[in-house]
Homo-oligomer: A and B are copies of this chain.
Amino acid sequence: MKLTSKGRYAVMALVDLARFDNINPVSLRDISLRQGISLDYLEQIFSRLRKREIVQSVRGTQGGYVLNKKAKEIKLSNIFDAVDEKVKTVKCKKESKKGCNGKTTKCLTHNLWDELDSHINNFFEQKSLEDLVKDNAERRI
């Protein structure tokens, strides 16, 4: 099980953004330089974040991105959702009554993976962007 770089970069970029947010829009170019993420790739990511109304864009010179909600209200789960970083543990379709093996009952491990799914998603629902920024500020002192 591994985290994809889309999810990783999305969070990294948003933490960076959130730290400067109160003043001016932050340009992707700056984030790219500070965090070492390809600019083109960041653009893909922010396009999605904007569609999900996590950030707002400001065009033109001195433009950039701004948070569209309070950092406290942006959960990790929202971010991952936006960039399509899903947790996939069960193999079957959850709604269906069929198992992953094509049989009419769920497989021996279905329930386990389902628990795992919840376990991981809980984590994502509890962490907010604010938590991350604070955690980082403390570390700095």
Chain A contacts to B: CB under 8 angstroms: 1-5, 7-8, 11-12, 15-16, 35-36, 85-89, 91, 101-103, 107-109, 111-113, 115-116, 119-120, 123, 127, 132, 135-136, 139
Give complex CA distance A103, B16 in Å: 16
Choice from B15, B85, B88 contacting A109 with Cβ under 8 Å: B15
Give complex CA distance A12, B108 in Å: 6
Q: Is B1 in contact with A2, judged by CB distance below 8 angstroms?
A: yes
Give complex CA distance A16, B108 in Å: 8
Q: Is B3 in contact with A4, judged by CB distance below 8 angstroms?
A: no
- A111: which B residues are within 8 A, CB to CB? 135-136, 139
List 13 interface pairs A-B (beta carbons < 8 Å), by A numbering. Answer: A1-B1, A1-B120, A2-B87, A2-B89, A8-B113, A15-B109, A36-B101, A111-B135, A111-B136, A116-B120, A116-B123, A119-B120, A120-B120
Q: Is B35 in contact with A89, judged by CB distance below 8 angstroms?
A: no
**Protomer copies:** 2
Give complex CA distance A101, B9 in Å: 11
Q: Is B85 in contact with A3, judged by CB distance below 8 angstroms?
A: no
Q: How far is the CB of A94 from chain B (nearest CB, A)?
A: 14
Give complex CA distance A112, B8 in Å: 10
Q: Is B85 in contact with A1, judged by CB distance below 8 angstroms?
A: yes
